[in-house]
Amino acid sequence: MKIPCKFNPLGFGGTITVEPIQGGCGVFVFSGSTPTSSGMAMSDIVLFQQQNNSMTVWLGGAVNGCMVNDYTSAAVSRGGIIASAVINSRGTLRVYSGGIVSTAVINSRGALTAAGGTVRSAAVMCGGELNVSNGGSAAGVAVESGGSLYASPGVYLNGVRLDSGTSLTVSSGTSAFNVEVLPGASHFVSSGGISRDVILHSGGIVFIPVLFGPDSQTALTGSCPGGTFLAASGSSLNFPIESRQHQIVSWGGMAASGTLNGGSQTILNGGSASCTAILSGGVQIVSSGGKSNVGTVFSGGNLYVQYGGSIDSFTVSSGGRLYVSAGGSATNIASCAGATINYVG
């Protein structure tokens, strides 16, 4: 059926084509200037600020192609879906529990909120904003430089790409998977948060601000083509430090059961490491006030103990290298034939 322009505040001089979804009778209702789709399908909807438009899609309703412009709003409730949405400056789109938005572009000053609903594939452009809250979820999200992604406690994220200058914080009860941290981007994992299969590029930062370990619900796993992993007043567990990637453990931080596989790790004043495996190309530097206890330096691995730093209970395998500067401490060191141990000063 077609709705004539004079009854169609969305048409802006055109018409809206409304087709029943197969198997559903559906209704299409205007309340003032607000259209509501239930059990119907619509396409190519444009909301204009001049006409004070808003739109709600619910209970089997579907919109394919929706543009939300200045000071207009759209909402998707349980059973509704909007595909191919563009949210422009000062436009808002909300997705409630049971609602779905698929393929969205959020432009500058536009906002998309998954308040219990689901977002599938979204590009957050410079100045745009995506909020995931109330148990909502988002998958396939690209946050471009200058864009913002906010995740409230208890939400689910999968497939997030963070461009330069952007950040993502995963807090208690939130689960994130496949987060890619590009150069200049940062990823924070708070107490009780989970972030698995992180890809950390050179120039990116992953930060653990609070303690977690085997008895905690906080978790971080992933691969590191490069970048910096920070553990300050917190702890990392079983996190691999690969080639071109660097970990800094500062005051109150602890790196447990880490593997330095071509990457480097610096233990600063008040930081500590335990059960560390330093493989070929891996480097651990224990600075003044830092401690590293129990570990193995394998062939091609390097361990440096600087003035005021201390290590205990290390094994240096054949081909491994240990350098202890004047004022550094190394106790209970076992060495194999072919190992290199140098005490300087």
Write out pLDDT tens, residues 213-272.
333 345 565 555 555 555 544 455 556 677 767 777 877 777 778 889 888 888 989 888
Per-residue pLDDT at 330: 96
Q: Decide if 200 is inside a domain.
A: no
**Structural domain boundaries enclosing 315:** 228-345
Q: Decide if 305 is inside a domain.
A: yes
Q: What is the DSSP letter of 107?
A: -
Tens-place pLDDT, residues 16-73? 333 333 333 333 333 334 444 444 455 556 665 555 567 777 777 778 888 888 888 8
Q: Decide if 216 is inside a domain.
A: no
Q: Decide if 19 is inside a domain.
A: no
Rounded to whole angstroms, how far apart are CA atoms 8 and 213?
59
Mean pLDDT within 11-18? 33
Q: Which residues pair with 155 in a beta bridge?
A: none
Distant-in-sequence, close-in-space partners of 220: CB < 8 Å, separation ≥ 6: 189, 194, 195, 196, 198, 206, 208, 212, 236, 237, 239
Q: Decide if 77 is inside a domain.
A: no
Q: Decide if 192 is inside a domain.
A: no
Say how many domains are in the chain: 1
Percentage of residues in the chain having pLDDT higher than 70: 74
Per-residue pLDDT at 122: 97
Per-residue pLDDT at 45: 63
User: Is 70 exceeded by the pLDDT of residue 212?
Assistant: no
Mean pLDDT computed over every residue of the chain: 79
User: Is 80 exceeded by the pLDDT of residue 74?
Assistant: yes
Question: The pTM is what?
Answer: 0.66
- Residue 1: exposure state from Cβ atoms within 10 A (0-12, 13-18, ≥19): exposed
Tens-place pLDDT, residues 102-150? 999 999 999 999 999 999 999 999 999 999 999 999 999 999 999 999 9
Per-residue pLDDT at 62: 79
Tens-place pLDDT, residues 157-195? 999 999 999 999 988 889 999 999 888 898 888 777 788
Q: Decide if 135 is inside a domain.
A: no
Distant-in-sequence, close-in-space partners of 174: CB < 8 Å, separation ≥ 6: 151, 152, 153, 154, 155, 156, 157, 193, 194
Q: Decide if 344 is inside a domain.
A: yes
